[in-house]
Homo-oligomer: A and B are copies of this chain.
Amino acid sequence: MSGVISLAHGAGGLETRELIDRVFTRVLGNDYLAESEDAAIIPVGAYAVSIDGFTVEPIVFNGGNIGKLAVAGSCNDVAMRGAKPKFLAASFIIEEGLSLDVLEEIVASFGAELRVNNALLIAADTKVTPRNQGVSGIFISTTAFGEVILEGLAAKNLRVGDLIIASGSIGDHGAAIFAAREGIELESGLKSDCASLWSLVSPLIDAKLPIVCMRDATRGGLAAVTNEWAIAANATLTLNESAIAVKNEVKGACELLGFEPYSLANEGVAIVAVRGEESAKKAIEIMRSSELGKNAAIIGYVGGDYKARVVLKTPHKTSRFLDMPSGELLPRIC
């Protein structure tokens, strides 16, 4: 087997078996995959299911790679529904010519992030597309299955007075990808926040805090999540700009781009709505006790005069609408 992926690796014959055995099974193998059937039988249970396609470019970036992102991203989607990640199905679409070393690095990160989630890969598919005609590197689509631990989370249940928490600083993933794409060296070595969030939110569930809904602020960033929530609840979400953590390097990248950080993608930030001030404070305390949540803060609340809108209160005591992002910020961000 030479050092790059060839079309034969995707043809479903001998070379495909060799690729699967050498690169995938060695790292990701388990009893489900060992059956080598076209479908896996999962244990009976109450599952939350989410699918995501990952097209990030570059495929390896500061703070992670597309393998880590593809696991964390889908697992986070079920985690935000109150479900503990258990299983993953993955479709790998690989460009002919991709270096095997890079593929192995990506698969290693994929496997490592599965272990972080204590989840298993139960089904997978591999395709290879011709060079320059398909993907530049690799696309990964993942379906995550989470065991439902807390039922009933839904943005439509938001009520006036509910408090909005962000688990960390905003915009790191978007800014890191932009920097990598443009070859900008940020002095501080800004990293993607790419991380699996179940370990951050499960203690909130264990503590039986009155969580209304949770969402990871990925594509479209904080602006998209809060606008979707405002629409779902037909309420105003009011955010305090001074409470929203944004790293200086991210602010710098935003100035270069003409973006606002609230629209940049995050891949390891949970937005959590909690009912009641005491509960919100308790949630902050719990989140701050973990590395992932050390910058957790209450950034706003449900309430205000505009149905289905997000209002941002600036440090200058003025207010403006934070709109749903529009237009193309940065293609292939996740």
Which of A33-75 touch B at CB < 8 Å? 35-42, 44-55
How many whole Å from A251's CB to the nearest CB in chain B?
21
> Beyond A263-B13, A328-B6, A332-B129, is A41–B48 a contact (Cβ under 8 Å)?
yes
- Return the chain B residue nearest A88 by Cβ: B51
**Docked complex Cα distance between A131 and B126 (Å):** 23
Interchain CB contact under 8 A, A224 and B12: yes
> Beyond A11-B219, A130-B332, A328-B6, is A228–B36 a contact (Cβ under 8 Å)?
yes
Which of A213-250 touch B at CB < 8 Å? 215-216, 218-220, 223-224, 228, 232
Interchain CB contact under 8 A, B36 and A40: no
Q: In the complex, identify which listed stretch (A100-108, A132-140, A199-207, A274-282) lies at the interface while the others stay far away.
A: A132-140
**Helix, strand, loop or mixed for chain A's interface?**
mixed
**Docked complex Cα distance between A219 and B14 (Å):** 12
- Return the chain B residue nearest A152 by Cβ: B41
Interchain CB contact under 8 A, A39 and B81: yes
| Interface core residue of A49, A54, A332 (most chain B CB under 10 Å) | A49
How many whole Å from A122's CB to the nearest CB in chain B?
6
Query: Which residue from B46, B141, B154, B215 sits with its C-beta under 8 Å from A53?
Result: B141
Q: Contacts of A127 on B, CB cut-off 8 Å?
A: 53-55, 332
- Return the chain B residue nearest A52 by Cβ: B125
A285 CB–B CB distance under 8 Å: no
Query: Which residue from B8, B55, B125, B232 sits with its C-beta under 8 Å from A134?
Result: B55
- Return the chain B residue nearest A213 by Cβ: B37
A171 CB–B CB distance under 8 Å: no
> Beyond A81-B38, A134-B136, is A12–B220 a contact (Cβ under 8 Å)?
yes
A25 CB–B CB distance under 8 Å: no
Interchain CB contact under 8 A, A36 and B327: no
Interchain CB contact under 8 A, B324 and A53: no
> Beyond A91-B53, A215-B38, is A46–B48 a contact (Cβ under 8 Å)?
no
**Docked complex Cα distance between A198 and B154 (Å):** 35
Query: Which residue from B124, B136, B155, B325 sits with its C-beta under 8 Å from A51?
Result: B124
How many whole Å from A56's CB to the nearest CB in chain B?
10
Q: Contacts of A93 on B, CB cut-off 8 Å?
A: 53, 55, 93, 139, 141
